[in-house]
């Protein structure tokens, strides 16, 4: 290959690379333009639209905290918290572990050194007490 044909090939390759970059940049700018037309920033939303999208965290909402073994259980419903506070500690612990931590009766029985059937019986009796307390 002589020098002229090598230069010609180099110029063709250079031209090809420039075209590829030019069309890639054009497509990139077109995609950005389309995205910008379809998307809206939060600052561009009206108060009403923003309120529809907003979510309020309630992590630090007034909650009653119960400590059961090494768990801290928060109850946000005031009436339920009062009813739970009125219960004896062992019954309250069974309800909290079962319904707030989804702990099975077998595991609760192991932690409290009870028979599994005793835990099931106390849980059912405690639920009846809670129902009466909350209704009256």
Nearest Cα neighbor of 99 from 62, 136, 66, 53 is: 66
- Token readout for 16 is 């090809």
Which of 83, 85, 88, 95 has the alpha carbon at shortest distance from 130? Answer: 83
DSSP state, residue 73: E
- For residue 17, the model assigns a pLDDT of 95
The verdict on pTM exceeding 0.95 is: no
As a whole number of angstroms, the distance between CA 95 and CA 111 comes to 14
Radius of gyration over every alpha carbon of the chain, rounded to an integer in angstroms: 34
Return mean pLDDT, the chain. 88
pLDDT in tens, 81-90: 889 999 999 9
DSSP 62: S
Do the beta carbons of residue 79 and residue 134 sit within 8 Å?
yes
Share of the chain above pLDDT 70, in %: 96
Dist CA 102 CA 94 (whole Å): 11
Q: How far apart are CA 16 and CA 80, in angstroms?
A: 74
CA–CA gap between residue 65 and residue 81 (Å, rounded): 9
Band the pLDDT of 3: cuts 50, 70, 90: confident
CATH topology of domain 64-135: Arc Repressor Mutant, subunit A (1.10.10)
């Amino acid at each position: 290959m002589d020098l002229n044909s090598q230069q010609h090939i180099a110029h063709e390759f250079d031209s090809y690379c420039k075209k590829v970059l030019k069309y890639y940049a054009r497509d990139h700018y077109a995609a950005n333009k389309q995205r910008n037309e379809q998307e809206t920033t939060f600052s561009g939303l009206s108060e009403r639209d923003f309120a529809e999208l907003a979510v309020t965290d309630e992590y630090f909402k007034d909650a009653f905290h119960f400590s059961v073994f090494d768990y801290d259980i928060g109850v946000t419903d005031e009436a339920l918290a009062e009813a739970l506070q009125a219960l004896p500690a062992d019954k309250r612990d069974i309800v909290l572990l079962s319904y707030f931590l989804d702990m099975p009766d077998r595991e609760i029985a192991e932690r409290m050194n009870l028979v599994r059937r005793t835990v099931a019986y106390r849980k059912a009796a405690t639920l009846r007490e809670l129902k009466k307390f909350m209704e009256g």
